Amino acid sequence: MKTLLAAALLVLACTAQAQDNLALKGYDPVAYFTEKKPVPGKPEFTARHEGATYRFASAANRDAFAAAPGKYAPQYGGYCAFGMASGYKAPIEPNPCAAAGRATSRGS
């Protein structure tokens, strides 16, 4: 029964991620490199890449992403690296500080 419940929750999480197609839960992927921390993106600065919508903290970050998306886009399709290595797609936690206090893996 627990396995069935876990599978249902995983499907719901993946479906929710697929429905809105908002990558990294709205965090700016460029800021991980330039600010060395997660920074929420703003709805007015967006770009699309491989079917996902990315948000950015500034137009400069959006433009940097547009020039080299492979440099900034998350690996494994934006899913948790541990989950992918284990054979399933699990949503990531874009804020590593939030994940540090839990017994969970965070995405790359």
Nearest Cα neighbor of 58 from 71, 39, 72, 75 is 39
Q: Rounded to whole angstroms, how far apart are CA atoms 46 and 55? A: 5
Query: CB of 29 within 8 A of CB of 57?
Result: no
- Beta pairing partners, 29: none
Q: What value does the mean pLDDT of the chain take?
A: 77
Q: Which H or E element spans position 44?
A: strand 42-49
Residue 87, pLDDT above cutoff 50: yes
Instruction: Quote the tokens at residue 58.
Output: 């500034």
The tens digit of pLDDT for each residue in 26-76 reads 999 999 999 999 999 999 999 999 999 999 999 999 999 999 999 999 888
What sign results for the dihedral spanned by CA atoms 22, 108, 87, 7? negative
